[in-house]
Amino acid sequence: MIKILLAGVFIVSFFSLFSFFSTDDCLDHGGSAQQFGLLCEGAEPLYQNITMPLLGIIILLSALATRVGWKLMIWLKNRI
């Protein structure tokens, strides 16, 4: 049960961070973001080069959120 919940934390944090940072990056490069950051129209070609390191950062932040959730669950379990 805990593993399913942690997988949910990772998935939700990944997609929310991806949507936020993709939209922000697209707008920073003069584009128009649509569909929660999945489409970017009118951005410079540099936008596509920056997206891959950004994806790595998003995965690391999502893993960090999952780890914090895991530690919090262990702490709550020991406290009860």
Could you tell me the residue ranges of all domains in the chain?
2-79
Only one residue has tokens 């990944």, namely: 14
Q: What is the structure's pLDDT at 34?
A: 79
Q: What is the structure's pLDDT at 48?
A: 63
- Specify the higher pLDDT residue, 54 or 71: 71
Cα 80 versus chain centre, distance: 31
The per-residue pLDDT for range 2-26, each reduced to its tens digit, is 788 889 989 999 888 888 887 887 7
Q: What is the structure's pLDDT at 63?
A: 92
Which residues have CB under 8 Å from 52's CB, separation 6+? none
The per-residue pLDDT for range 43-62, each reduced to its tens digit, is 766 556 666 787 888 899 99
| Predicted TM-score (pTM) of this structure | 0.70
Tell whether the model's pLDDT for residue 71 goes beyond 90: yes
